[in-house]
């Protein structure tokens, strides 16, 4: 085990590598034609270089293979690296040529298969409170693959404003790292170090990506970050309990909420689930009058709230966790309805509360 001081130095160096290499990736994006041009769906007013995730990918692997060498199992590290390369290539092709949703999903699926079969990162056991512990058996495969596909796409969907996905992911990663290191009793500390290493690479990239951005994450970055968050969270979920399953879901509350309600919105409006629209969380906040930067900061705040709530789970009893989860779901539904994320006319819980709180004399009138 490397001394803590050397780990901190390695993480700081990873951050500097990311910050230094991003301008070079920006130039490469222009050369390769990975440029986001303004259109009806995009917020940017001028052509912006995409593919910024390549800088994060390079910095992260410089950190894991060189700066923090010897902290990670060799076979697993190379297997994860192979999966990362598949994701990065998929994202780069999409940023240059624009792939269809099915083609992108195929790239993520292939990378997920590498993680399952070569890296051996998967869910194996599920413990249900008051019921017992079960070996997942053949269910391990579909559950693991679904987890990776869902989290990867969730992070990809919130990448709509300068610095949004980057900042939310930094908050999520450092919360995951703290919980993994202090609360989940993971004997292999390398999981936490790898999480912090990815967070450090993102911090180095953020100054170039925050509004007004000089470079976008692109699908290269959004897919890579989402994929790695999914894989790293899985490494702590090999033996799943109710609490350990909830923690990463709560930590990733912002992208998961946006994804779930986007799907619900499209189903209710009888539109294809894969059809893009301008009614995501960040779009709604801007439509309510917030500026670009204010919207990003509000969502950062929301991500911090989810992270702080997730820190309560390891400290709570089973019943305390159940009450906390119910409170989170009710509060989240009220927030979603108040900003009209599903639709301004779809506010069942708010309408119910108004009826319950309505004075009796008004009801008679």
C-alpha 275/C-alpha 278 separation (Å) is 10
Q: Which of 4-13, 187-196, 221-230, 314-323 has the highest mean pLDDT?
A: 221-230
Mean pLDDT, all residues of the chain:
87
In this prediction, residue 125 carries a pLDDT of: 80
32-61 residues labelled b (16+ CB within 10 A) or e (exposed):
eebbbeeeeeebbeeebbbbbbbbbbbbbb
Reported in sequence order, the residue ranges of the chain that DSSP labels E, i.e. its strands, are 35-36, 48-49, 125-128, 132-135, 239-241
Number of C-beta neighbours around residue 309 at 10 A: 19
Q: Please say if the pLDDT value at position 257 is more than 70.
A: yes
Number of C-beta neighbours around residue 291 at 10 A: 11
> Tokens in use for 234?
């899985």
Residues 6+ apart with CB under 8 A from 327: none
In this prediction, residue 363 carries a pLDDT of: 52
Please check if 156 is assigned to a binding site: yes
Lowest mean pLDDT segment, chosen from 12-26, 56-70, 124-138: 124-138
Structural domain spans, the chain: 4-315
Q: Please say if the pLDDT value at position 338 is more than 70.
A: yes
When pLDDT is cut at 50, 70 and 90, the band that residue 228 belongs to is: very high
C-alpha dihedral sign at 182, 185, 187, 192: negative
Q: Report the largest interatomic distance among the alpha carbons of the chain, rounded to a whole angstrom.
A: 75
In this prediction, what percent of the chain has a pLDDT beyond 70?
90
For 131, 263, 275, the CA distances from 241, given in Å and listed in that order, are: 11, 27, 35
Please check if 219 is assigned to a binding site: yes
Question: What's this model's pTM, rounded to 2 decimal places?
Answer: 0.90
Strand partners, 146: none
């Amino acid at each position: 085990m490397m001394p803590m001081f050397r780990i901190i130095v390695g993480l700081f160096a990873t951050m500097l590598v990311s910050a230094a290499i991003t301008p070079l990736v920006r130039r490469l994006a222009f050369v390769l034609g990975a440029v986001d041009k303004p259109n009806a769906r995009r917020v940017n007013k001028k052509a912006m270089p995409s593919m910024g995730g390549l800088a994060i990918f390079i910095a992260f692997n410089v950190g894991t293979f060189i700066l923090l060498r010897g902290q990670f199992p060799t076979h697993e590290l190379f297997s994860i690296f192979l999966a990362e390369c598949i994701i990065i290539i998929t994202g780069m092709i999409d940023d240059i040529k624009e792939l269809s949703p099915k083609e992108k999903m195929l790239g993520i699926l292939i990378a997920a298969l590498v993680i399952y079969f070569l890296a051996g990162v998967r869910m194996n056991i599920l413990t249900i409170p008051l019921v017992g512990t079960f070996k997942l058996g053949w269910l391990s495969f579909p559950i693991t693959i679904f987890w990776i596909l869902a989290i990867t796409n969730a992070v990809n969907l919130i990448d709509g404003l300068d610095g949004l996905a980057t900042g939310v992911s930094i908050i999520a990663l450092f919360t995951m790292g703290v919980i993994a290191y202090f609360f989940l009793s993971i004997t292999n500390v390398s999981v936490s170090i790898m999480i912090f290493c990815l967070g450090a690479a993102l911090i180095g990239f953020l100054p170039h990506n925050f509004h007004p951005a000089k470079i976008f994450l692109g699908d290269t970055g959004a897919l890579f970050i989402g994929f790695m968050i999914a894989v790293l969270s899985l490494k702590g979920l090999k033996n799943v309990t109710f609490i350990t399953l909830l923690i990463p879901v709560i930590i990733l509350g912002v992208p998961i909420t946006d994804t779930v309600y986007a799907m619900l919105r499209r189903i209710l409006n009888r539109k294809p689930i894969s059809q893009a629209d301008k009614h995501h969380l960040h779009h709604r906040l801007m439509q309510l009058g917030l500026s670009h930067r204010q919207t990003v900061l509000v969502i950062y705040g929301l991500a911090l709230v989810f992270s702080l709530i997730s820190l309560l789970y390891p400290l709570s009893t089973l019943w305390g966790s159940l009450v906390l989860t119910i409170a989170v779901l009710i509060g989240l539904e009220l927030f979603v309805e108040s900003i009209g994320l599903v639709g301004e006319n779809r506010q069942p819980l708010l309408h119910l509360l108004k009826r319950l709180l309505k004075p009796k004399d008004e009801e008679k009138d």
